[in-house]
Structure 1
């Protein structure tokens, strides 16, 4: 299933490319994107192509902080209608919860969730791309965009308790530390921004509730027209799998419908809940294997299996090979 992003996700791409001595238009053409993507923010782009573009640019420029540099000066307005809605939320918590609900209207490939842990809140990002190839630039760009939203509410000097990335550390982390501060870790289980729960109560004195209602109606109308049930379910699957709660009943509860409604909609779109779960697990498995930092037991838990034996049976049935054999094929 192809996920799309608004071309606004490429804001500042041309500028950063130029600063690195690159021809932005040539790079865009090389990955098969239209040159219009550099000046038409509402153009829909395949997320895999955007990921390829960012990795290509970072590699050619020898700049591991390429995606971060793109997002460093982002404003809420770069999120289009979603940015208008976030701007008028009464508190930071409301803004984050709104991001969780509506992020896919701006970037279908990104999912955001909030995890409460005592006096801490974890803002978790997932990137859903076909093929599961390594895309640290896109992930870091998305994380930096979330971080910028936090700073807009909390002030430029605010720093999180921790910023964690699933991918390994690049050779040079200078841009990362300049952006996020000293509390940063790589090779972690998730892409997380950890902050104090009390920070989320920060009031937004400029919030306009009337405009918030108007912006929300615009987004909900867009969701009703464009969002397929399979896309909505897939976004929830990636968030629920690591928690072991990825059941159709739980997904239905999140969507405010019953399981039969989900089944009927998915059937009309030519798929099933089980098919979507298997597809998402397969994509994540490729990413974890390419990362190489997790053993099979850890991967099994992250894919929603309570026991390694259940993961092994799933792997055997789907790929006609044991999980160990699949791991060895990459070495």
Structure 2
């Protein structure tokens, strides 16, 4: 009999849902709890690069959302006026029948992942978190915030940047750090020429256009916000336009169309990395709870998805829980640390206005590293 037959997943985001799907496909019983009482996500998009497309195909969910997504091959890097600096061909890591990269709205992705998890038999409860965890050696006694209890072979904290599970394991040893930057996002009808990921570099920040569907794309922008100021929601459109003043060409044209502050998604960049094993006993962290980074390389959610798949493989392998989690860490730690440090480095170089920094080289190196098997 496997050492792990019943798992509690704390957090119903991308990492938690992928873990639920992966574990259910391996025959492991799954309870998933989500703090939000309404299971919603914010309505901008997500980039799934070649390594993520590969793992979503392995997870058996890629076909379920390709029709709602935008498949593309290349990544291009441009100057602030739109002059092309480099074009990096995509790699079809999932096989020749699948695209190299995918852009998809978070709403569409959440629909497929949540429906798949439920169809596979994961039990989901909303508006709930964990109050306390008591590791009994052979199981974990969980007290939930509604006063109920449960007993599990393993607890997986997939509860994000401000993880309750991480706090229960490590106290205040790991707390999110503001990097000095923020990211802005806004949806537009897709421009015909945006049939690839288009990244625009300027001395003031980094912008990009990501196709999400035949008729949809989103614009993202990183900006230096050293004091982490509070942003009046009513002024977000104006603030985003101001921070795009250094761009001309297509980005400049789109800038002037940013008019609805309620549709601007603004997020300060905060990071955390647990620089030791992400588990204690029978409680494990995955995704942003263990290694939240900046969006500069577009791999944050991808690392959570990879975590989920590797965990399902190791929990159905040989040995006891300690051996299984040690193998999980051996496969995940250095890879996630590389992505975390490289993403933060790219942001630091933006804030320093370092014109000598080889961002194109970093992107190429990242794509080569992530193409390696997990």
TM-score tier after normalising by the smaller chain length: under 0.3
Structure with more relative contact order (C-alpha pairs < 8 Å, separation 6 or more): 2
Structure with greater strand percent = 2
After TM superposition, the score normalised by the length of structure 2 is: 0.25
